[in-house]
Chains A and B, each alone.
Chain A
Amino acid sequence: MPLEVRTTATLAEAASLLQADRSARFLAGGTLLMRAVNEGDVSFSTIVRTTDPAFARIRAAGGRIELGAGVTMAQILASRELAFLHPVARAVGGPAVRTMATVGGNLFAAHPYGDFAAALLALDARVQLASGFGAREVALDEFLASRDRTPRPLVTALSFERPSDPAAFRFRKMTRTHPKGAAVVTIAAHVPTSGGRVSGARVALGAMAGRPIRARGIERALEGRPLTAEGVAPAVAAAAREGDPPTDALASSWYRRRVVGVVLRRLLLGEP
């Protein structure tokens, strides 16, 4: 059945349309929603999209980085100021998917996808939302915990502090196929050190819980420790207790619990 497509000039108009029509879904890059359309998903009858330039805008000159939710992985890769995020954007799909897939859409990617969202969690990102009632902002982990609740607000932008030391931001995705594959485990970590000891660690896991999560147990175990084999051992041990890893065609829950600590140790020690 043909769908109704509503194209708005502003994000606010798009948010109002979505608020007013429960059968409407928002289209950004299309890598999630157009799959549903092609499958004949009848749970929605209207597609809302926007041509608002703010939706695809990158503000990365200062300390606080703001990404419009419609910014694509290819745009991230084309931005020199966002070089620390290039390994993350490159982990999403192949080149054609990266032309299309957006940072906002990645927040809604079902397990085992959502690698960019994991990185944003480790950066303690905040999510800007718009609904018919106006704009508001929530922490990303809070947003992800309720992302499937309806009606869904419109994600308009994401913002986070630039890591003061780019080397403090680490990202690794373990896949079964290379160079493109879905995650067995994804880990993003922001581990700044002060006097050789971790201070203010933030660690996020992808493919370990049905959605990307903050790994508070790992973070606590890292605090005040040096990034040495001995120093990270408690965090590596804590990794197996994080989340509730699903079993799927890529890996079993048991395997994900066994391997997450190995990936974490290599990431923290800078091993291949």
Chain B
Amino acid sequence: MTRAVRLELNGVEVAAVAEGGENLLTLLRERLGDTSPKAGCLQGTCGACTVLVDGEPVLACLMLAEAADGKRVTTVRGLADGPRLHPLQEAFMDGFAAQCGFCTPGMLVAAKALLDREPRPTREQVIEAIAGNVCRCTGYTPIVEAVLEAARRMAGRRG
């Protein structure tokens, strides 16, 4: 049985038809063409598919697509403002916080969820915020540093 799903994706009203039992990740990637959240384990273990739903981090692979009906969904594609990257994205680039890059979309979204709630996080809070996101390349240190650096830059801009 199919179901129409309407949601706000990165600030734009969109609609798609989901198959019964389809998860939000499939809806985003295959129906709506936003391939920025990655399909890693599909078991809720790796965090590569992390998106924000109404501002809270969720694993898109474990959310029923139709449960997102009427909600506000933010993927990593929604972080940049036109050609201007989000400070998190700039800090990740500057600090070489990505190697293969597969975990990066989930890391950025998980980090954004943290900074939205806690603009000046401690190192421990950053580690806790990305605890559900697996990276097999970097050893995490450059990622944690990049999130802290982004927070510092954002605080500086707010002046």
Contacts and interface: CB of A to CB of B under 8 A. Distances in A.
Contacts of B42: 35, 38-39
Contacts of A97: 44, 59, 132
A96 B21 contact: no
A96 B64 contact: no
Interface stretch (B50-58, B73-81, B83-91, B96-104): B50-58
Given A49-B67, A74-B56, A180-B131, A37 B21 contact: yes
A34 B63 contact: yes
B132 A100 contact: no
A47 interface: yes
Given A2-B19, A4-B20, A96 B110 contact: yes
Interface in A7-60: 7, 27, 29-31, 34-35, 37-39, 47, 49
Contacts of A93: 44, 132
Contact of B132 (A2, A38, A39, A95): A95
Given A2-B20, A5-B1, A35-B44, A95 B62 contact: no
A31 B62 contact: yes
A96 B50 contact: yes
B19 to A, nearest CB: 4
Given A49-B67, A94-B47, A34 B23 contact: yes
B131 A179 contact: yes
A56 to B, nearest CB: 13
A99 B3 contact: no
Contacts of B43: 35, 38-39
A47 B21 contact: yes
Interface in A66-95: 74, 93-95
A97 B23 CA distance: 15
Given A95-B57, A95-B129, A97-B44, A38 B23 contact: yes
B133 interface: yes
Given A37-B21, A96-B57, A99-B58, A179 B64 contact: no
Bin the interface of chain B by size: 20 to 34
A95 B128 contact: yes
Contacts of B7: none
Interface string A221-242: 0000000000000000000000
Contact of A2 (B21, B59, B128, B130): B21
Contacts of B20: 2-5, 47
A4 to B, nearest CB: 5
Nearest to B124: A179
A58 to B, nearest CB: 17
Nearest to B43: A35
A5 B131 contact: no
Contacts of A74: 56
Given A7-B66, A30-B63, 7 more contacts: A30-B67, A31-B59, A38-B62, A74-B56, A96-B57, A96-B58, A99-B53
Interface of B: 1-3, 19-23, 42-44, 47, 50, 53, 56-59, 61-64, 66-67, 110, 113-114, 127-133
In the complex, the 10 A-B pairs of residues with the closest C-beta atoms, listed nearest first: A94-B132, A3-B21, A180-B131, A96-B57, A2-B20, A38-B42, A34-B62, A94-B131, A2-B19, A30-B62
30 contacts: A2-B2, A3-B21, A4-B1, A5-B64, A5-B66, A27-B64, A31-B62, A34-B61, A37-B23, A39-B42, A47-B20, A49-B64, A49-B67, A74-B56, A93-B132, A94-B47, A94-B132, A94-B133, A95-B113, A95-B128, A95-B131, A96-B57, A96-B58, A97-B44, A97-B132, A99-B53, A99-B57, A100-B59, A100-B62, A179-B127
